[in-house]
Amino acid sequence: MKERKSRPSLDRREFLGASALGLAGVSAFGARALAAGEVGDTKSEAGAQASGSRAKNVILMVSDGTSIGALSIASIVSRHKYGRELRWLDWIADGARTSLLNTEPAEGHVTDSAAAASAWGIGERVRNGVVCVTPDGREPTPLGAQARQMGRRLGFVTTTDLWDATMSCFLANSPSRKQSRAIAEQMLTRGFDVGLGGGRLVFDELEPEKHGYRVARSRGEMKSLMQGEGPALGLFAPGSMAYTLDRPAEEPTLTEMTQAAIGRLSALGDPFFLVVEGARVDHAAHHTDAGALASEMIEMDRAIGAALDFAHDRDDTLVIATTDHGNGNPGFTNHASTIEQIERVGNAKHSFAWALEQWRALAKPVRTPAALAKLIQQAIGGSFSTRDMEFFDRWLAGEMIDPTAYRNREFSPIGAIAANYYGISFTGPDHTSDHVILSAQGPGSELFPAVGHHTAVHDALVEAMGL
Ligand SMILES: [Zn+2]
């Protein structure tokens, strides 16, 4: 898509006026820019006049796979359960720069995490599944590697494998995100100062200690890891870390890891670039699991709060919160939206994944639809009708029970039944084409366009970090 040289700009006063309306203001903001023909790969023209846009520290918070509908669900649950609005939305209301971003990859309209994070990492559109390799085969140096070459400290925090798409696109180049070993090796070799998350299976095979990393493997070891000399790597799970609802005590929370990484990087004294990902928001949306989704979003919001708390009263730190793509585009539906349903979402005890895992561990004779229903009931509450049980029966027998093929996947039928209980429906169990929200505050925040493409995030980050 052709770049547009000019774009309508809003002055600070006008922007604050728009953002004070909260999300409604954001929509009006976006709609105005769209009406003026603002589409595609918008480069931030503010970059040209970037004096005062340099940030000593940059913290990029990525709530992976978060449709605006997921943000709204979390906001509703947070207000009812905890009596407070999400920090993210309060932050927007207080005047954080807010953008709506188009997420399209090089081909097609719906991106995966690799193509989205590659747009951030190298400022170009790549095909889905690719880590920072352009369609014509070039391998530009990703932003994290550039930042490190320029003397910045580099940190990664995620609730999935550290080698997975979102983190790797800031440091690696690979024709496929599935080449986990090669990607992890590149990350270790190109180097980072702090890495906290999952992915022990792949990283342990590469013996990170031999690359000079000190390694922690449990929550209890995280504190001493953060205090020693040299690069620190926390590998808290073999693959993805657990959902917040199912978290074992030996795994740290996303907020704890975020605070630890910020503490470590800031104590080193040099400028830093930290990327934090709440990866399981995306997974919960793939599982059409509203209870897990709300709790992951609320945990992500706490981690955003930790970044904002660090930046508060400082004028040298740029904090950005965004997502790589929508997923499932879920929402409470008007056919049955009650306080009781909001409470049910907020009170989920376990994820669908927990229920299915427990069920699969049962001996075959007792691995029945009724046993699954009982486990789901244990996880989310409620009770199941005879019709629900018939539905499970047909699904477990491999029958296609929804005319839309992809809605017959592993978790979707559980989500479809839970929709009656929660009052929340998903468009499906996969990424969606909706625009995503980005908020930013601190030096360089003015570089993000009101409406643009993910590639504009790269350009703003380059400018803010002086790369
Ligand atoms: Zn996903």
Show the tokens assigned to 115: 């193509």
Q: Residues with Cβ < 8 Å from 285, sequence gap 6 or more?
A: 65, 66, 67, 70, 293, 327, 328, 330, 426, 429
Cα of 112 vs centre of ligand 1, distance in Å, is: 6
DSSP 160-202: EETTSHHHHTTT--BS-TT-HHHHHHHHHHH--SEEEEE-HHH
Cα of 409 vs centre of ligand 1, distance in Å, is: 14
Q: Per-residue pLDDT tens for 186-227? A: 999 999 999 999 999 999 999 999 999 999 999 999 999 999
Cα of 17 vs centre of ligand 1, distance in Å, is: 35
Provide the CA 462 distance to its chain's centre, in angstroms: 21
Cα of 287 vs centre of ligand 1, distance in Å, is: 10
Provide the CA 22 distance to its chain's centre, in angstroms: 21
Residue 373 confidence (pLDDT) = 93
Q: Per-residue pLDDT tens for 422-432? A: 999 999 999 99
Phi and psi at residue 381, to the nearest 5°: 90, -170
| Helix, strand, or coil (residue 424) | strand
Q: Per-residue pLDDT tens for 29-41? A: 233 333 333 333 4
Cα of 65 vs centre of ligand 1, distance in Å, is: 6
C-alpha to C-alpha distance for 259 and 308, rounded to whole angstroms: 11
pLDDT above 70 coverage of the chain, percent: 89
CATH architecture assigned to 12-330+437-465: 3-Layer(aba) Sandwich (3.40)
Cα of 67 vs centre of ligand 1, distance in Å, is: 11
In the chain, CATH 3.40.720.10 sits at 12-330+437-465
Predicted TM-score (pTM) of this structure: 0.89
Residue 129 confidence (pLDDT) = 98
Cα of 247 vs centre of ligand 1, distance in Å, is: 20
User: What 8-state DSSP symbol labels residue 429?
Assistant: S
Q: Are 382 and 276 in contact (CB under 8 A)?
A: no
Q: Per-residue pLDDT tens for 320-372? A: 999 999 999 999 998 767 899 999 999 999 999 999 999 999 999 999 999 99
Residue 24 confidence (pLDDT) = 34
